[in-house]
Amino acid sequence: MNTKRWSVVLVISILSIAVTACGGILSVNTATGEEVEVNNVKILTVGSNPADFFADISGLLPDGCSQIGENVQEVNNNTIEVTLYSTGLYDDCSFLNPTPFKEKVSLDVRGVPAGTYFVEVNGVIARGSLTKE
């Protein structure tokens, strides 16, 4: 029994040291971060009747601790504007190099008439046709 107790104390001590050394790795910051850097956008049409439309996006996250966060979409005339944000995973990140990402974002085209549209994601523009059957 005494050996078991010491094993538990040892494991807790090691975890405490690891968490402290990693700059609070268990502390999650879920607040919306900054706009991500987008390098490429492609429009994808999946299925039919009705078709689903996606923006296939690639770019760079600000650091190795960030992930893709929320996206905000707005339709202005013939442009579907998407703003894509990062979400920081840790309060103190030691992986400061930009990290590549690839993300598929569903485009909310409910109520949008068929036609040719531009999809702009954080300043990068792709052209595509929206067809509805």
So what's the pLDDT on residue 62? 85
So what's the pLDDT on residue 28? 40
So what's the pLDDT on residue 51? 75
- Cα–Cα distance measured from residue 126 to residue 56, given in angstroms and rounded to the nearest whole number: 10
* Residue 11, phi then psi, degrees to nearest 5: -65, -45
Beta partners for residue 25, in sequence order: none
So what's the pLDDT on residue 72? 95
- Cα–Cα distance measured from residue 101 to residue 84, given in angstroms and rounded to the nearest whole number: 12
Beta partners for residue 115, in sequence order: 130
- Cα–Cα distance measured from residue 124 to residue 126, given in angstroms and rounded to the nearest whole number: 7
If the chain, 133 residues long, is cut into consecutive pieces of 10 residues, what is the mean pLDDT of each piece?
Answer: 62 55 42 83 84 92 88 94 85 75 93 91 93 66
Residues 6+ apart with CB under 8 A from 59: 36, 37, 38, 39, 40, 100, 101, 122, 124
Count the neighbouring beta carbons within 10 Å of the beta carbon of residue 71: 19
SS3 assignment, position 16: helix
- Give residue 2's identity as a one-letter amino acid code: N
Rounded to an integer, what is the distance from CA 118 to the centroid of its chain? 21
To 5 degrees, how large is the angle CA 19–CA 23–CA 26? Answer: 50
